[in-house]
Amino acid sequence: MKTLIFCEGHNDVLFLRKLLGATYIDDEIDFFDQGKALKENRPGAQTSALRSFIQKSYLHKVLIKSENGKEDIFDFFIDSLFLFSQHGIEIVILLDIDNSTVDKKIELLKEKISKRNQFNIDIEERNDIDRVCVLKSLVKINTEEIGKFKLIFLSRDLEDITGINNIDDDVSKITKIDDYISRNRRIKNILYN
């Protein structure tokens, strides 16, 4: 099964690479940075990357899609959920809670869905691990299940829970991410349970 992971930015990609590294080799993981595509003025780059990922001949098993901000994640997710569910692609959303709560984020997602689609979401299971909340969710039209997805919320933000700061280079960030994961071993499995 293929997995499409939506996240906010570069540090999230580093975090996800570490989590995925125990299960996948680098050749099985692909990345798409929406912010970079916009800066480079590459219209259609997102559509092309996602169409390629859907194809059975596509070699990568995981696509990490770094969005250009939080609001874009929910909007794009809602617009594409049905398509990816029909292709058997597992969807994961990794978001910072910032100054909000998990319940408020869920309500925001439900509100956005109700305004744009006939979908409903049900939270099947909730697991709180350290400062990370993992929600396994179902998507339904009326009572018919059309797909599943996973929401992963980070308390405040990734930088706060790992100790990453603005002056860290990627090597320092990866070291801090490794330290956080090694201190919180249950975090390693948040993508798979």
| Pairwise CA distance, residues 47 & 118, whole Å | 23
pLDDT of residue 190: 81
Q: Find the mean pLDDT for residues 170-182.
A: 94
Q: Which residue has the higher pLDDT, 15 or 68?
A: 15
pLDDT of residue 70: 61
Residue among 107, 118, 193 at smallest CA distance from 150: 193
Bridge-based pairing state of the strands 132-141 and 119-129: antiparallel
Predicted confidence (pLDDT) per residue in 55-80, tens digit: 888 888 999 998 876 666 888 888 78
pLDDT of residue 69: 65
Give CA torsion, residues 97, 189, 65, 115, to 10 deg. -50
pLDDT of residue 71: 61
- Are 173 and 161 in contact by the 8 Å Cβ rule? The answer is no
| Pairwise CA distance, residues 191 & 193, whole Å | 6
pLDDT above 90: residue 16:
yes
pLDDT above 80: residue 116:
no
Query: Locate tokens 């990357």: which residue?
Result: 49
The overall pTM is greater than 0.85: yes
Q: What percent of the chain has pLDDT over 70?
A: 96
